[in-house]
Structure 1
Amino acid sequence: MALSKDLDELVQAQVISQQTADEITAYYASKKEASSSSLFVIFGVLGAILVGLGIILIIAHNWDHLSRLQKTILAFVPLVSAQGFCAFSLIRKRNNQRWVESSAAFLFFSLAAAIAMIGQIYNIPGDLPAFLMTWMLLSLPMIYIMKSSMLSMLYLIGITGYGAETGYSSQDASEWYYWAMLLGALPHYYLLLRKHPKGYFTHIHHWLIALSLTTMLGTVAHSHEELMFIAYCSLFGLFYAIGHFSLFQSVGTLANGYKPIGALGTLIILLILSFEEFWSHLSQPRWQLPDVLSSPEFLVSILITLATTWVLSLRIRKVGLPRILPMEWVFLLFIPTYMVGFFSSISVLIINLIILTLGILTVRRGAREAHLGLLNYGLIIVTMLIVSRFFDDQIPFVWRGILFVLVGIGFFIANYWMLKKRKENV
């Protein structure tokens, strides 16, 4: 209503033409319609899940009183019903996203219920990883048959659960199946990037894939776990660089899962390594060079570092060296610093200097661009470093208190100066 009134006023004042006003109205109407449609899809999926769970609970209430044949029939009732809804969606409601996503989610959970109930009825032996793997493999084709992004998201969560269950508790080949199953979901993700780069489901996929890879990278560690710090720092550097691609320039932070995960992950690693106690527990490794070179930790660290270096080189060619952010260089500085730390305590000092430099440069960038968020982000980095040093026994309490007071004063002064500068520029 306010927009329409403002546009009428601008048209009467001959600031814009009536055609321009109509185009602006149509644009915002389409955005509102897209937002409403997405909400309907989400509520439709939630409704389908609740209906499926309700049916399962009703069946479970009378389960002990049923014969084996009755149990078998009831085990397939939700699955057959879900398949019927999916068939109806494909034939009659192909262009209705609410129908497609809701029926696909219903099928996904009905499939799990059928597998679990049949296993219980006929006492089929199995464990959680086997159940998850069967469930995910049967669900994978439905992502492409239904063209369902909701099903793809649920699949990513499912394979991450499977990978974590096998990767952190076993040492057999089954832990590598996750990576093969992840490849199965990537074509759908690629289609989302091409056709719906600003869609809600695409934004959620960014977060899920980044979180899934972060969770599963740790399963690679076996005999040379110390090298995984390099692998993780390079992975977070890769995420941060990807988050600055042109694809993400016109979307907000919440729609760009790669950049916040990359930045937060890098800072967490640096803060962990900023404690001298960490390095005291990390004794000088007695590695045999052939074993190191053939270890999965070394190979993964090399591959991820090379990939991150390549992506960084693409960024440099596109935007120029001066526009590369300090956080994007951290993974390259981290590798020699970490390796030196096995033999010298100077790495602790270097890590602390890296964190402090990141904070100061971010504050400087925020001040230069008059960006209050960046300014406070840089101050938060410095504060995190000081909080970490608060637990350092080698620093007296008086100095810790002085540091906190100074940072608090810095927050007030920086924000006051920025707000004052903004008012002057208005």
Structure 2
Amino acid sequence: MITEKFRRQLRTEAKLWQTEGLIDDYLYQQLSERYQFDALEKTASSRFITILISLGGILLGLGIITFVSANWQQWSREVKALLLLTLFIGVNTSGFYFWRQQNTLSNTTNKKQKLGYGLLIFGALILGANIALMAQMFHIGGSPYGLYIVWGLGVLVMAYSLQLASLGVMAILLIGLGYLMGLSAVFYPGEFSWLQFIIEYMSLVAVLLFIPLAYWCNSRIIFFLATLIILLALEISLFRIFDFLNHGLWGAIALTLPPALLWGYDDIILPKVNSRIFQAFTRNLAIWYLSIGFFFLSFRAIWQDFILVNYSEISSEIHWLTLVEVLVFVGLTIWEWLCLARPNKRDAQSWRLDLVSGVILSFIVGTAILCFWHLSINEIPEIATFIINIEMFLLAAGLIRIGLARGIRGTFWGGLVLLTLQIVSRTFEYNTGLLLKSFVFILCGVGVIAAGLWYERHLSLEEVRK
């Protein structure tokens, strides 16, 4: 994005280059026309006027708000509704008009576009106020989470219409806040409504509403927020089924389905998507999920107590649609992994996974078998803890190896931190003396420093060789 500050600095440098003879008058004139050096003085002279207009607009707005507040109680409901709708339509129409203004210089944003962008955001905020005030005026009852969900759906329509990532982020945050506030409708269901349907089946709703918006706006932030909501809602549905059926199979699925879904995700399996925009992100998220999950399950007390707790007093029954929702994600995950193993059309190879995907699949399958055996066949807390710690160590070592081979700092340091956490947590979990803990801390600290310095030196040498 070319800013006014950059153009001013470029004009100063171009004049210096022209004086020193590095560029001739023709090249300076080309730069002046391309970056519109002559328009900089006009912009500077109009800045004071813009500030005065903005200050006057703020004072005018405050005056209008004060006038409306003073006469709000005396006006009829029709007048209030007309005023609110006029304000909403006027602000959004003005915002759309200014936002669609053409730029005289490519890769820049003029002040009119910034004003239009701000008015569109303000219009999205006004939408929430209009919904709340309309409901109050016409005595429409409802829960607070319903307000945020309806508000978020309205902003979501604006985001799809204008293809604005900021409005999409705002819509997801509003719907996500409404979902968190309305989780009681899942655990303590009351009278069925469409809002309750959205809350109970948020994972599918988020897939249908948010994921296409992420591709439409090409926004990683939208995809990240949508993924968080999908995973949270999916985990709640999974553990509700596990608690109701009380079967080890569903416990195993609840622990392993999210990382399997994330790692198997591939953008090109979607229609009209020809590039892998978010696959690297979902795989990184799967590694995070596995790392946190292994660290959580590496404690013996988790397998002895927590993983066997029954929450039947919280959620006594589930609807069959919840089971269908989860089975949809199970089927989607299986389809993703089949697509990963599918042979390439250019090669005559058989169905197989690459090395990294095969290792991740072994982690997922091994953890699922452990959980199923522990919950349904025979309790094996010692064996399960030992195997999980082995998987955690292998994951950390694999991250360190990939970070070294590919020169990815985040992967290397992630594996090193995971390995250090495993060593330190084992020291605290078991009854060890202070002398041994001190030795472990010193050893880990020296090891991290030495590994970090060696890795940075290794990267520097690799860059020099290239």
Residue 421 (str. 1) matches residue 454 (str. 2): no
CA distance in 1, matches of 2:363, 2:318: 24
Note the 1:16-415 alignment, pairs <5 A. 59=65, 63=69, 66-69=72-75, 73=79, 77=83, 79-90=85-96, 93-94=99-100, 98=114, 101-169=117-185, 170-172=188-190, 173=192, 174-178=195-199, 179=202, 181-182=205-206, 183-192=208-217, 197=218, 202-220=219-237, 221-222=239-240, 224-225=242-243, 227=250, 230-231=253-254, 233-242=256-265, 247-248=276-277, 257-281=281-305, 282-283=307-308, 302-317=327-342, 321-324=354-357, 326-327=359-360, 329-342=362-375, 343=378, 344-345=380-381, 346-415=383-452
Report the alpha carbon displacement of residue 110 of structure 1 after superposing the two structures with TM.
Answer: 0.6
For the 8 Å contact 1:363–1:378, the answer to whether it is kept is yes
Seen in structure 2, the aligned counterparts of structure 1 residues 243 and 354 have a Cα distance that, compared at 3 Å, is farther
CA distance in 1, matches of 2:67, 2:94: 30
Name stretches of at least 5 consecutive residues in structure 2 with no aligned partner.
1-8, 18-30, 36-53, 103-112, 269-274, 345-351
Name stretches of at least 5 consecutive residues in structure 1 with no aligned partner.
9-24, 30-47
Report the alpha carbon displacement of residue 280 of structure 1 after superposing the two structures with TM.
Answer: 1.6
For the 8 Å contact 2:252–2:367, the answer to whether it is kept is no
Alpha-carbon RMSD: 4.5
For the 8 Å contact 2:402–2:411, the answer to whether it is kept is yes
Seen in structure 2, the aligned counterparts of structure 1 residues 360 and 185 have a Cα distance that, compared at 3 Å, is closer
Taking structure 2 as the reference length, the TM-score comes to 0.64
| Counterpart residue identity of residue 377, structure 1 | G
| Counterpart residue identity of residue 236, structure 1 | P
Tell me the percent identity.
17
Report the alpha carbon displacement of residue 131 of structure 1 after superposing the two structures with TM.
Answer: 1.8
For the 8 Å contact 2:210–2:226, the answer to whether it is kept is no
Seen in structure 2, the aligned counterparts of structure 1 residues 236 and 115 have a Cα distance that, compared at 3 Å, is same
For the 8 Å contact 1:367–1:418, the answer to whether it is kept is yes
Q: How many residues matched? A: 370
Worse overlay, 376-385 or 75-84: 75-84
Report the alpha carbon displacement of residue 274 of structure 1 after superposing the two structures with TM.
Answer: 1.4
Report the alpha carbon displacement of residue 297 of structure 1 after superposing the two structures with TM.
Answer: 7.0
For the 8 Å contact 1:56–1:113, the answer to whether it is kept is no
For the 8 Å contact 1:364–1:375, the answer to whether it is kept is yes
| Counterpart residue identity of residue 272, structure 1 | F
Partner-residue secondary structure (3-state), 2:172: helix
CA distance in 2, matches of 1:230, 1:94: 49
Report the alpha carbon displacement of residue 413 of structure 1 after superposing the two structures with TM.
Answer: 2.6
For the 8 Å contact 1:105–1:151, the answer to whether it is kept is yes
Q: Which has the larger radius of gyration?
A: 2
Structure-2 residue corresponding to 1:21: none
Seen in structure 2, the aligned counterparts of structure 1 residues 154 and 229 have a Cα distance that, compared at 3 Å, is farther
For the 8 Å contact 2:96–2:120, the answer to whether it is kept is no
| Counterpart residue identity of residue 253, structure 2 | I
Seen in structure 2, the aligned counterparts of structure 1 residues 369 and 286 have a Cα distance that, compared at 3 Å, is closer
Q: Deviations over 1:402-421 (max 9, x none)?
A: 33333223222322332333
| Counterpart residue identity of residue 242, structure 2 | H
| Counterpart residue identity of residue 127, structure 2 | L
Q: Deviations over 1:62-109 (max 9, x none)?
A: 847742417875676465233223334545643666466433322221
Worse overlay, 321-330 or 384-393: 321-330
For the 8 Å contact 2:88–2:123, the answer to whether it is kept is yes
CA distance in 2, matches of 1:57, 1:280: 66
Report the alpha carbon displacement of residue 380 of structure 1 after superposing the two structures with TM.
Answer: 0.6
CA distance in 1, matches of 2:318, 2:88: 50
Structure-1 residue corresponding to 2:23: none
For the 8 Å contact 1:231–1:304, the answer to whether it is kept is no
CA distance in 1, matches of 2:310, 2:137: 52
Report the alpha carbon displacement of residue 265 of structure 1 after superposing the two structures with TM.
Answer: 2.4
CA distance in 2, matches of 1:401, 1:293: 50
Structure-2 residue corresponding to 1:36: none
For the 8 Å contact 2:94–2:119, the answer to whether it is kept is no
Report the alpha carbon displacement of residue 115 of structure 1 after superposing the two structures with TM.
Answer: 1.9
